[in-house]
Structure 1
């Protein structure tokens, strides 16, 4: 059996963010969780581990998320930063269709049924 090599890595803040994104993404993507903060030791491990991978950063649209984004931007200068609309504030509470659109915009394959916006708003 040939093991599939995962080229894309998505960095999110919390476990609930990871669960939500994982359900939307269709292609093999490794999802790393910072749990809101990250130690320099763990960051150094990630830098070595993610050296030749496509790194995407998707954090909350709040003060803590922006602080984390700033740190990750410095440590992963080639990473692509994905942004949710400020009105949703948190990745975990953003509508699936919004997250699917954001991920698709970064060429991350998503389950197409998430691209349909519910009409009950």
Structure 2
């Protein structure tokens, strides 16, 4: 099993190869476009793990944008007791559905003494 934890727009997501993830919408990308996520915090592959301090520089995640959509409605209800104050609001957050295509690892060159 191979997976990575990536920082995306201030939120952390666990990305597994060939799986779908819903992330906050970024409208600058069009459907079917591929992009590289380089803010990798943690990477696990076949029992070996790498932890960034704070980020890993040799690991990138290639993802494909599949769909832009809206999430389920979230209701916000405010009330102050005995005052007759009630306000009901709601909104639907925007999401982007992405698919993880592959993990790109660059071999780090270590200088021996």
Bin of the TM-score, shorter chain as denominator length: under 0.3
Whichever structure has more helix as a proportion of its residues is 1
Q: Tell me the TM-score normalized by structure 2.
A: 0.22
Q: Which has the larger radius of gyration?
A: 2
Whichever structure has more strand as a proportion of its residues is 2
